[in-house]
Structure 1
Amino acid sequence: MSSDVLHGTPEVIEKGTGGFAAEARQRHLTNFTGLGPPDLVCISKHWRGVVGKGVTQGYFHFVRGIKAESTASISTYLGRLIKHGLEGASWYSGGGYKIVSAACRSYNSFSKCDILVKVDVPGSVSSLALFPDGHEEETSDLIWKETFVCSVLRASEGVGEHPLYPCLVAFQPLDSVSDERSFLTAASEIVSRWPLVGSGRPGLTFGDSPSQVTPATCLVAEALFRYFAQDSRFEQAQKFFETEVGEKDVELKYFACRALKDSGNFSSARSLIDTVVQECPSFSAALLMSSQLYLETGQLDAAFVEAKKAVEVNEKDTLAWIHLANLYVEKGDLVESLIALNSAIMEPPTLDPFLRELLPARKRMTKPLPNTSGGTDIIRVLAKRLHEERIGPATGVDESLAELSATLMTDPEKQAYQVLVKALNKFGWDEILNARSDAFIMEADISHLPEGQESSTEQIHETDVGKMQEAASSSQENAESSSDTAGTKISKGQPSPGKDFTLSAETNGTDGQTKNVATEDNQVQGNDSSSVKEDKVREVGGSSEQRILKNKHASLEVYSSKGHKKKMCTPWLDFLVNNMYEDLRALAIWQAEDEQMAQNLRSTSGTSTSHTSSQPNQASSSGTNSQNETQASQMQNDASYIAQSLDADQIAKQTKRPPVDWLRRGELARRIQRSSDAERAFRIAIILSSKNSGAEKSATVSPWLSLLEMYAEDGFASEALVAADAVWNFMDSHADRISTSSFTPPVPAIRRAVFKLVHKHGLHKIREQVMDKRITINRHRIQSVLLDAVEWKVSGYDR
């Protein structure tokens, strides 16, 4: 007798005979965007008791990485499921199950259809193309080429991980270099159909006509470049885009230029991009690349010329506007930088109604026996664990850190946010608010004016008010109101001992009666930042009420200081500024806590330092006040310096925060480009998690993955190898391995990090680091990745 559990593969149990998942997918075919969802596999199983007819039950799971190049390749996977069969039933079972049929639906993003392959038991295989309107067609060679390209790119892009599709099974679609050659050949043969998948550049929407998207601006080209670049295989990327497809469309040579730039070959990149710009003068991406190359070589004026050309030839190219804003920050013109950002088009995040409809069905799932999946569960196990760690426990966490709006930004918004962070480190928070008031009219300011003043403003801005009412929602008004009243000013770059972030009572006008924020927060687990008043946050930057009122008044002026008529700030830019305010607010609380810990550590060690000697009495009271302020400032500076010198072990011993709070603080520090603070926060999370290893959802893997990415990006080989080994240890203890191997397959993050190290340092040096006895790692596992680097010819494998 057999149970209903498929060997090595978890499944969602449908109601009755099944068909719910397939019907939902059919309804949402028109809603699929980009490369589409993972493949859906539906299996029918018939239960037969000792007596009676029995019943048929439906099951489904998702799979990613099937090499969908023909009916045979998909039916091979279905046949393997049927061959492995069902797990045995318990001895007291009154009947058993058997598989009746299995079907797989793989999405074709080019033709906007599902390729359905069905296997009936015994011995019948069929395939067809199923379109949204319900009509069916036979599968052709062209459709199979398109489906093959889509299936490989879905695996490369990590489709189905975030958010996680239920019961996801993941394979590596290309097992060898010869398989990759077949994939690239198929992709190059259908270049003319690439635009059908849609745009790959933010702001360039598909619209009603495919002519609005070219092969060089489509999602397929971007995904193919990432396929090479994320594994640091820049030579192969250059060859593919310059010769194989670049000869068919010269604009595609732009990606070969990107490969040369990323590999550090700027001279060849400059020569190639000049050729592309000469042949395609209206191609904004090429002009943008030309500007970036000029910036890399320190030619700021030439970079400006090319960037302005890029936004002129295509004003909808969001990345070109973001780059132009970055150039203005380099130049020191913050107002023009914000105006450039405001001109960019930010598309809202895409939703997945298909997945949302399936989520309630997860309540009933089968659970295969351990160590039976053969390594196909590593993606699912890791994605589920990362999701649990980021949610954290139900109680005892800082909700203000969990609710930071910046965590919801899309990728283009993150790029724009980095321009604001660069401006913050160069100019300070007050200057950003001043520039925003000088450049834009804010909806919140208009809505809070007295009636008489508002009417006069409306007379001046007859054409702008309608746009204002359209653009800002009530939530954005509230966000603007809170951020505009805060004059927080953060120091440029990393905080130095001379720049203090503590919240003083003296400057707050409370005569020393205000509680110390760090002490108050440390007393309560969860540390709610809402206890910090706006005026206290304002003191972090030393802003005054007069300056805030000046900013609000300036935002109501019709013309900027340069004589340009002001525009209304777009909701998405207002959202980013509010995100920065929230991040700086959380940073102020963090630093206050660190300084309190430093003071506690100094007091417990019994040390005290006097920074000023006693001075003779001054005849003037102003002289006495000045002396007191100097002494207070010196003591605060010393506390700030000690706080920065605290290491992760010292903080971990004193903090009452759970690991997830430090994980979120590490992510916050990375957003605002404070690498040392991020590294320390992640290490604190690791230390705390190791002390509570049995605790549910303890932040164990997430900080190690973040450290792995940071170390690999900065080229710290030994540290990155230790982080990779820690992640691999977790996977070995929680995921299944292949029967012929002593360890689980490496997750993509480990492969990409090690490949990046090979690209930066060369294979020979990384092998030396792996064999270095000063670090404790599983060398055999890492060496297997280095062998892959040689097989796939990662940049640097030959040196």
Structure 2
Amino acid sequence: MSSDVLHGTPEVIEKGTGGFAAEARQRHLTNFSGFGPPDLVCISKHWRGVVGKGVTQGYFHFVRGIKAENTASISTYLGRLIKHGLEGASWYSGGGYKIVSAACRSYNSFSKCDIVVKVDVPGSVSSIALFPDGHEEETSELIWKEAFVCSVLRASEGVGEYPLYPCLVVFQPLDSLLDEKNFLVAASEIISRWPLVGSGRPGLVFGDNPSAVTPATCLVAEALFRYFAQDSRFEQAQKFFEIEVGGKDVELKYFACRALKELGNFSSARSLIDTVVQECPSSSAALVMSSQLYLETGQLDAAFIEAKKAVQVNEKDTLAWIHLANLYVEKGDLVESLIALNAAIMEPPALDPFLRELLPARKRMTKPLPNTSGGTDIIRVLAKRLHEERIGPATGVDESLAELSATLMTDPEKQAYQVLVKALNKFGWDEILNARSDAFIMEADISHLSEEQETSTEQVHETDEEKKQEAASSSHEHAESSVDSVAYSSPETKYSEVHSSPGKDPSSSAEANGTEGQTENVAAKENQVQENDFSSVKEDKVREVGGSSEQRILKNKQMSLEVYSSRGHKKKMCTPWLDFLVNNMYEDLRALAIWQAEDEQMAQNLRNTSGTSTSNTSAQTNQASSSALNNQNATSSQTSQRQNGDSHISQSLDAEQIAKQTKRPPVDWLRRGELARRIQRSSDAERAFRIAIILSSKNAGAEKSATVSPWLSLLEMYAEDGFASEALVAADAVWNFMDSHADRVSTSSFTPPVPAVRRAIFKLVHKHGLHKIREQVMDKRITINRHRIQSVLLDAVEWKVSGYDR
């Protein structure tokens, strides 16, 4: 007798005969974006008891990495499931299960349909293309090429991990260079259909007048470049985009320029991008790349010319506006930088209604025996663990760290946020607020106009002086409660000032220099500007205009305001997303201030306990911090060095000392590390992650203890900065966790490497060369599993990672 548990594969148990997941997928087929969700596998199992007719039960799970090249490739996976069969039932079972059919649905994002392959037991296989309206077509050669490209790019993009789809099984779709060759050939043969998948550059297709998507600006091209870049295979990327597809569309050579830039070959990249710009003068992507190359070589004026051309030829290109804002920060013009950011279009985050509908079904799942999945569970185990660690325990955590809004930013918002962080480190928090006040009108400051204009159908009169005073008062209250109001009190830390420049010790500054008074003066200046804004509201009549109510109100607002900046430019409305980013920065700085106050208190306690030695060390550290702060307005090169080297948190205590004194759980330090990384405080981030690791090791049995998350973060940081030995130790720690929590292939003594480990080691090979990394692996001073790391280095040679031959 057999149980209903599929050998090595967990499943969600459906109600009755099943069909719920397939029906939900069919309903949401038109809502799928990008490359769609992972493949859905539905299995029907028949229960037959000792007596009676029996019943049929439905089950489903998700798969990523099936090479959807043809009917045979998908049916092979289904046949393997049937062949491995079901686990044995208990001896007292009154009956058993058997598989009667299995079906796989793989999304084709080019043709917007599902490829459905069904296997009936015994003996029949069928495949169709099922469209959203329910009609079916035979699978053609073109549809299979599209499905093949989609399946590989889904795996490369990590679809189904964040958020995690239930019972996700993951394979590597391309096992050899021959498989990759077939994939790239299929992709190049359908290049004319790439734009059907959608845009790969944010802002182009958002709004009422979307820009035309070309092969170079589509998601497929971006995903193909990331396919090479995430494994540091830039030579292959250059060859593919310059030779194999660049001849069909010249603009695609832009990606070859990106590869050359990553390889440090700026002269070849400049020559190639000049050709692309000459033949495609309306390509904003190519113009931005040209500007970036000028910036890399120190030609700021030329970079500005190209960046301004980019936003002129395509004002919807969000990345072009972000790059222009970054150039203005380099130039030292913060106001213009904010204006450029404000012009960018930010799309709202995409939702997944299909996954949301499936989530309640996760309550009933099968549990296969351990050590039976053959390594297909590593992604599911890691993703689930990372999610649990970031949530943390139910009690004892700092909710203010858990609720930081910056953790909700989309990828384009993160890029814009980094421009603000760069401005923060160069100019300071006060200057950002002053520049925002000089550049924009805030929505909340004129929100009263909406109510007045909605109630009026013909005319709006603004002649009552009391209304002006009321508006100014409302603006003053808003300034005190918004991100501009930076004075606050914390009962935990007795810390009441974050309005100073990042890195400044606000508590000591307030005592010595009266920083609170300075803060009040800044707020008063902003309120004065806002009052002047309202005093300039026209008192003449404003006629209604046609259109919808929302459009009329917005237009009336802008027409009714004649507010000018200090440069004589008419102020624009600050977009909600930019205001959101500034608010995120305020929250981050407030959390950073609390962190700094706690560290200072710990250092003071240690000085009181240890005596003069620790006091001298602390004095030297404070002197170094003071020296760094005195250079706050130095040149941009000095600023860059300070960002990468100096800490804005007291470093008189190391991770071990803080771990002994802190009462915070590991998840708080994990979140502080992520906060420090977000605002480019690398040394603070490293120390916070190490504190989380130390605390987790002391509570190894604690549920959801932050064990693997800080190691993964350290791995990314060390690999990005080129610290080889530290990155290898972090990679080994992550691998140790996976060996103890995930299944391995029966023929191997360790689990397969998760993508993060593989990519980090490949990045080290790219930065230092294979020979040097091999020397680091064999270094006796570090304790790692050398056999495992060497297996990844062999992969680096096989797949010709950049640097494998040196």
The separation in 2 between residues aligned to 1:459 and 1:255, in whole angstroms, is 55
Contact 1:426 1:493 (8 Å CA) reproduced: no
Contact 1:611 1:635 (8 Å CA) reproduced: no
Offset from partner CA, 1:506-554 (integer Å, 9 cap, x none): 5899999999999999999999999999999999999999999999999
1:599–1:11 CA distance, 2 compared to 1 (3 A): same
1:632–1:297 CA distance, 2 compared to 1 (3 A): closer
- Of residues 605-614 and 707-716 in structure 1, the stretch that sits farther from structure 2 once superposed is 605-614
1:616–1:239 CA distance, 2 compared to 1 (3 A): closer
1:306 Cα deviation (Å)? 0.3
1:352–1:542 CA distance, 2 compared to 1 (3 A): closer
Contact 1:13 1:59 (8 Å CA) reproduced: yes
1:444 Cα deviation (Å)? 2.0
1:644 Cα deviation (Å)? 1.8
The separation in 2 between residues aligned to 1:524 and 1:700, in whole angstroms, is 50
The separation in 2 between residues aligned to 1:255 and 1:637, in whole angstroms, is 29
Contact 1:488 1:540 (8 Å CA) reproduced: no
The separation in 2 between residues aligned to 1:178 and 1:429, in whole angstroms, is 54
Contact 2:169 2:377 (8 Å CA) reproduced: yes
Contact 2:171 2:376 (8 Å CA) reproduced: yes
- Of residues 445-454 and 351-360 in structure 1, the stretch that sits farther from structure 2 once superposed is 445-454
1:716 Cα deviation (Å)? 0.2
The separation in 1 between residues aligned to 2:60 and 2:383, in whole angstroms, is 19
- Of residues 459-468 and 392-401 in structure 1, the stretch that sits farther from structure 2 once superposed is 459-468
1:495 Cα deviation (Å)? 11
1:215–1:717 CA distance, 2 compared to 1 (3 A): same
1:582–1:479 CA distance, 2 compared to 1 (3 A): farther
1:492–1:374 CA distance, 2 compared to 1 (3 A): farther
The separation in 1 between residues aligned to 2:96 and 2:625, in whole angstroms, is 98
Offset from partner CA, 1:745-776 (integer Å, 9 cap, x none): 00000010000000000000000000000000
Contact 1:406 1:579 (8 Å CA) reproduced: yes
Offset from partner CA, 1:546-581 (integer Å, 9 cap, x none): 999999999997101111100000000000000000
Contact 2:458 2:544 (8 Å CA) reproduced: no
1:92–1:291 CA distance, 2 compared to 1 (3 A): same
1:459 Cα deviation (Å)? 11
1:397–1:796 CA distance, 2 compared to 1 (3 A): same
| Partner of residue 487, structure 2 | none
3-state DSSP of counterpart to 1:17: coil
- Of residues 732-741 and 557-566 in structure 1, the stretch that sits farther from structure 2 once superposed is 557-566
The separation in 2 between residues aligned to 1:537 and 1:402, in whole angstroms, is 47
The separation in 1 between residues aligned to 2:568 and 2:529, in whole angstroms, is 51
Offset from partner CA, 1:687-706 (integer Å, 9 cap, x none): 00000000000000000000
Contact 2:504 2:629 (8 Å CA) reproduced: no
Contact 1:233 1:794 (8 Å CA) reproduced: yes
Contact 1:197 1:218 (8 Å CA) reproduced: yes
3-state DSSP of counterpart to 2:613: coil
Contact 1:392 1:697 (8 Å CA) reproduced: yes
| Partner of residue 611, structure 1 | 616
- Of residues 489-498 and 611-620 in structure 1, the stretch that sits farther from structure 2 once superposed is 611-620
Contact 1:235 1:795 (8 Å CA) reproduced: yes
Contact 2:325 2:340 (8 Å CA) reproduced: yes
1:191–1:623 CA distance, 2 compared to 1 (3 A): closer
| Partner of residue 668, structure 2 | 661
1:29 Cα deviation (Å)? 0.2
1:463 Cα deviation (Å)? 17
Offset from partner CA, 1:54-83 (integer Å, 9 cap, x none): 000000000000000000000000000000
1:465–1:301 CA distance, 2 compared to 1 (3 A): farther
Unaligned 5+ runs, structure 1: none
The separation in 2 between residues aligned to 1:555 and 1:532, in whole angstroms, is 6
Offset from partner CA, 1:455-474 (integer Å, 9 cap, x none): 99999999999999999999
1:541–1:408 CA distance, 2 compared to 1 (3 A): farther
Contact 1:517 1:532 (8 Å CA) reproduced: no
1:365–1:314 CA distance, 2 compared to 1 (3 A): same
1:263 Cα deviation (Å)? 1.2
Contact 1:718 1:769 (8 Å CA) reproduced: yes
The separation in 2 between residues aligned to 1:200 and 1:726, in whole angstroms, is 35
| Partner of residue 289, structure 1 | 289
- State the Cα RMSD in Å: 9.9
Offset from partner CA, 1:64-115 (integer Å, 9 cap, x none): 0000000000000000000000000000000000000000000000000000
1:126–1:686 CA distance, 2 compared to 1 (3 A): same
Offset from partner CA, 1:609-639 (integer Å, 9 cap, x none): 9999999999999999999999999999999
Offset from partner CA, 1:4-24 (integer Å, 9 cap, x none): 000000000000000000000
The separation in 1 between residues aligned to 2:159 and 2:640, in whole angstroms, is 53
The separation in 2 between residues aligned to 1:616 and 1:56, in whole angstroms, is 71
The separation in 1 between residues aligned to 2:309 and 2:445, in whole angstroms, is 35
Offset from partner CA, 1:650-669 (integer Å, 9 cap, x none): 11011000000000000000
1:612–1:776 CA distance, 2 compared to 1 (3 A): closer
1:413–1:480 CA distance, 2 compared to 1 (3 A): farther
1:606 Cα deviation (Å)? 2.5
1:644–1:793 CA distance, 2 compared to 1 (3 A): same
Contact 2:715 2:727 (8 Å CA) reproduced: yes
| Partner of residue 326, structure 1 | 326
The separation in 1 between residues aligned to 2:400 and 2:541, in whole angstroms, is 16
- Of residues 522-531 and 630-639 in structure 1, the stretch that sits farther from structure 2 once superposed is 522-531
Contact 2:765 2:801 (8 Å CA) reproduced: yes
| Partner of residue 410, structure 1 | 410
1:535–1:358 CA distance, 2 compared to 1 (3 A): farther
1:212 Cα deviation (Å)? 1.1
The separation in 1 between residues aligned to 2:271 and 2:529, in whole angstroms, is 61
Contact 1:770 1:779 (8 Å CA) reproduced: yes
1:645 Cα deviation (Å)? 2.3
1:367 Cα deviation (Å)? 0.1
| Partner of residue 513, structure 1 | 518
The separation in 2 between residues aligned to 1:537 and 1:653, in whole angstroms, is 67
The separation in 1 between residues aligned to 2:515 and 2:278, in whole angstroms, is 66
1:451–1:413 CA distance, 2 compared to 1 (3 A): closer
Unaligned 5+ runs, structure 2: 485-489
The separation in 2 between residues aligned to 1:545 and 1:415, in whole angstroms, is 30
The separation in 1 between residues aligned to 2:687 and 2:545, in whole angstroms, is 22
The separation in 2 between residues aligned to 1:160 and 1:409, in whole angstroms, is 19
The separation in 1 between residues aligned to 2:617 and 2:540, in whole angstroms, is 30
Contact 1:522 1:656 (8 Å CA) reproduced: no
The separation in 1 between residues aligned to 2:191 and 2:313, in whole angstroms, is 24
1:464–1:319 CA distance, 2 compared to 1 (3 A): farther
Contact 1:660 1:698 (8 Å CA) reproduced: yes
Offset from partner CA, 1:459-512 (integer Å, 9 cap, x none): 999999999999999999979942029999999999999942336775899999
3-state DSSP of counterpart to 2:146: helix
The separation in 2 between residues aligned to 1:737 and 1:296, in whole angstroms, is 45
1:321–1:519 CA distance, 2 compared to 1 (3 A): closer
- Of residues 513-522 and 94-103 in structure 1, the stretch that sits farther from structure 2 once superposed is 513-522
| Partner of residue 463, structure 1 | 463
The separation in 2 between residues aligned to 1:702 and 1:541, in whole angstroms, is 55
* 4+ long deviations beyond 3 Å: 206-211, 447-481, 485-499, 503-557, 608-642
Contact 2:105 2:115 (8 Å CA) reproduced: yes
The separation in 2 between residues aligned to 1:723 and 1:617, in whole angstroms, is 31
